């Protein structure tokens, strides 16, 4: 008689928990172990840079499931447990609390914040504790610098203005980025920040800093100097794969997977740490957004439960910056053609972004668009049947 060693999920945020829940929903009856390195119940991360940073939520409001709910699923939850290595051939996970054998492993360890070489003490944002510290600093600061040009930097700059702080947003490049959309939304993002009083310093970088009795003095690459009360480094994340360096997995950019999320026999990866193969372009792409982690978790759990590969989920992500809701769905090429898909009399704007084939839409963006208008645009992408208007 063969004894099931079950499914082990490494990473107890929304992606990992969704994988465990979906396995049960799909009828998987074997053991499930959910491993998290924080001393917290599973919580959702988007509120860290939104509701919690704005002071609208307390930390407990971001918790996804209580202990009793996890127990009711028949899931063994191990908190304060860190993965330290993996033997793919033997299907054994090494952790700080001992080895765990598995039939299937789901890697959902996410990313960790990059440290700025010239700002080693700048605050970053990944965990609940980070969010609380940032919130308190923003509430007390008169002037802040947010270093970074991505979504997280824009969200922190938005929160800073919400708290009334004079805000400087610093980007090394000439453009602002919006996750998988890249720099295609840079112009409207720049306008949005300026409309809300954010000072932009693009095409420059912080060369050094000097502590002051209150705050610090920043020196920029052009020789200019700015004094701020607090500095936040939001310069992107690195996939948390250091524990996999001795494994046989390809971790050249996160955990490299096929279009179904398989990294090796019995090993899958989901969420920010996973680079799934895009069937359209053939490239391996990491999408650092919660909605994508959820969709990938469902797809992988269904494959494990039923042994059948489902269609690759289309990346879906969103943000809210200065109370402007921005939704994105699909894949976005750097030189994509842009088509206005806004329905007549609709609120907000919807754009379609083309692919390599004439008339194809591979991505759509809603800018303060109504849910109905964005759903209609998503349907256009799913059918991939748009004829461009010239």
100 & 125 share domain: no
Average pLDDT over residues 226-236: 95
Residue 312 falls inside a structural domain? no
Query: Residue 389: pLDDT above 70?
Result: no
pLDDT at 4: 61
Domain boundary among 235, 269, 294: 235
**Higher pLDDT residue, 381 or 129?**
129
Domain count for the chain: 3
Taking only the tens place, the pLDDT of each residue in 308-337 is: 877 777 888 899 999 999 999 988 888 778
pLDDT at 1: 31
CA separation, residue 14 to residues 109, 119, 309 (Å): 11, 30, 22
pTM listed for this prediction:
0.88
Query: Residue 121: pLDDT above 50?
Result: yes
Residue 1 falls inside a structural domain? no
Residue 175 falls inside a structural domain? yes
Average pLDDT over residues 294-311: 90
Residue 325 falls inside a structural domain? no
Task: Indicate the pLDDT class of residue 3, thresholds 50, 70 and 90.
Answer: very low
Its domain, for residue 226, covers 115-235
pLDDT at 310: 73
Task: Please report where in the chains the tokens 């693009």 appear, as a residue.
Answer: 202
Query: Would strands 267-269 and 262-264 be described as parallel, antiparallel, or unpaired?
Result: antiparallel
pLDDT at 262: 96
Taking only the tens place, the pLDDT of each residue in 136-174 is: 999 999 999 999 999 999 999 999 999 999 999 999 999
- Please compute, for residue 379, the number of CA atoms within 13 A of its CA located in the half-sphere on the CB side: 6
Average pLDDT over residues 21-49: 94
157 & 267 share domain: no
List, as one string, the DSSP characters of 318-362: EEEETTEEEEEEE---TT--EEE-PPTT-SSEEEEEE-SSTT-EE
33 & 106 share domain: yes
């Amino acid at each position: 008689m063969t004894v099931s060693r079950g499914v082990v999920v490494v990473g107890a945020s929304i992606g990992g928990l969704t994988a465990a829940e979906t396995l049960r929903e799909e009828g998987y009856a074997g053991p499930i172990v959910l491993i998290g390195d924080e001393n917290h119940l599973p919580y959702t991360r988007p509120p860290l840079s939104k509701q919690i940073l704005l002071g609208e939520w307390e930390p407990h409001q971001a918790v996804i499931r209580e202990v009793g709910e996890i127990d009711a699923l028949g899931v063994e939850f191990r908190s304060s447990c860190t993965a330290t290595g993996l033997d793919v051939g033997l299907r054994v996970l090494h952790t700080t609390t001992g080895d765990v054998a598995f039939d299937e492993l789901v890697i959902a360890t996410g990313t960790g914040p990059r440290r700025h070489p010239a700002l080693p003490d700048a605050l970053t944002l990944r965990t609940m504790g980070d969010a609380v510290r940032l919130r308190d600093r923003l509430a007390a600061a008169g002037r802040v610098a947010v270093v970074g040009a991505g979504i997280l930097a824009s969200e922190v700059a938005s929160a800073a203005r919400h708290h009334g702080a004079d805000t400087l947003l610093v980007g090394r490049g000439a453009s602002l980025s919006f996750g998988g959309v890249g720099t295609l939304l840079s112009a409207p993002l720049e306008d949005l920040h300026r409309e809300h009083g954010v000072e932009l310093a693009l095409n420059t970088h912080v060369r050094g800093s000097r502590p002051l009795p209150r705050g610090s003095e920043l020196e920029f690459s052009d020789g200019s100097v700015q004094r701020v009360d607090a500095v936040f480094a939001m310069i992107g994340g690195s996939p948390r794969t250091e524990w996999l360096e001795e494994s046989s997995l390809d971790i050249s950019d996160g955990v490299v997977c096929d279009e179904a999320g398989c990294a090796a026999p019995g090993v899958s990866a989901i969420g920010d740490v996973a680079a799934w193969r895009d069937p359209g372009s053939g490239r391996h792409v990491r999408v650092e957004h919660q909605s994508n982690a959820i969709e990938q978790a469902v797809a992988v759990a269904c494959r494990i439960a039923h042994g059948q590969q489902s269609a690759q989920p289309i990346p879906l992500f969103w943000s809210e910056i200065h109370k402007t809701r921005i939704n994105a769905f699909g894949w976005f090429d750097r030189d994509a053609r842009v088509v206005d898909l806004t329905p007549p009399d609709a609120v907000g704007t919807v754009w379609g972004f083309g692919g390599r084939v004439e008339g194809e839409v591979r991505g759509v963006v809603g800018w303060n668009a109504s849910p109905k208008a964005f759903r209609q645009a998503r349907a256009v992408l799913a059918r991939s049947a748009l004829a461009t208007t010239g």
